[in-house]
Structures are given as C-alpha cells and as structure tokens.
Amino acid sequence: MKRDPDSILNAELSHAVASMGHTDHLMVVDAGFPIPADAWRIDLALTRGVPEVATVLEAIHDELIPERVVYADDVPEMNPDFDSFLRDLYDGSGADLETVPHEEILDHGEGAKAVVRTGEFLPWGNVVLQCGTDPKPWFDGENVAMPEAYRERYEEMYGESP
C-alpha cells in the first residue's frame, strides 16, 4: 500500500503520471472522447459521471507539475463553471492556461503519452496537461543560471524570487 493515502491509488494512472517527462502530454477526457486505438488508454469510467473530470484532475494535480493546460475555447462562454474550476486549480501552479478550438483538442489524442477516460458527461470536458518541471531543484546548483522563463515559473510557484 502506498504511504500517502491521498495519492493516486489506481496503479495504471500512478504509473502514467510517474512516466511523464518534460513536455509530454497527459489527457483527461470525458466519456465520449474519441481515443485513438493505439493510445495508452487508462479507462476509469464506471458509470455516468463517475469519476468526474474534476476529481481526476485534482488527484493528478497533487502529483504532476503542469507547464501548460489546454482546453477548448468554448469552455469560458459555454461552460463557465468548468472554466472557473480549471483557473482555480491551476492558479499559482506556474502553468499557462490556453484555450484552442475544440477540433484541436481532438488532435491532441494522437500525440498524448496517455489518455485518461472518465465517466464524465460534460460539454468540452477534455483537458490536455503538458508536463513541466519544478525549476527549484533543477537550477539550485552553484554557477547554474536560471533562464528567464523558469525564473517566472519559480516566482509564480513559490511567490518569491529564486
């Protein structure tokens, strides 16, 4: 049994999160997303609404550092509660939130390292997480310069300058 009972217990999802490298994509999608046949599919769907996309994103958020979060540009207007949820969840994480046309979200399934299917019936309930890194341990050595982009992420994540 894992030491932290609040960490991801699903073995395949835990493995996927641990397998992510910088810039890899992990998708969390609703029940209707057309997952490519050759994708690493982690199917958590049990019944309608179980689990919810939000629940899965919250669990992943505790274990994965996102650099970029991508979702459909229809969400802010057509599903403002989900938009607020995403903005609140990733506020202060150092992640850039980006909206793109819905059709582009579908294209991300082809390049995702893993696609996590939920039981969610949520309009535009598909999210792409681009894996990032924590700049603190990567740039804490002596005589190592931190690039400006990482400095900005550090300040957003830690609320202070490196």
**Which residue numbers are catalytic?**
22
User: What is the token pair recorded at 157?
Assistant: 């994540």
Sign of CA dihedral 146, 152, 157, 162: positive
CA 90/CA 67 separation, integer angstroms: 10
Count other Cβ atoms within 10 Å, centred on residue 8.
20
Angle between the N-to-C axes of helices 53-61 and 11-19, in degrees from 0 to 180, rounded to the nearest 10: 50
The Cα-based distances of 34 to 28, 45, 77, 128, 132 in angstroms read 12, 14, 23, 14, 25
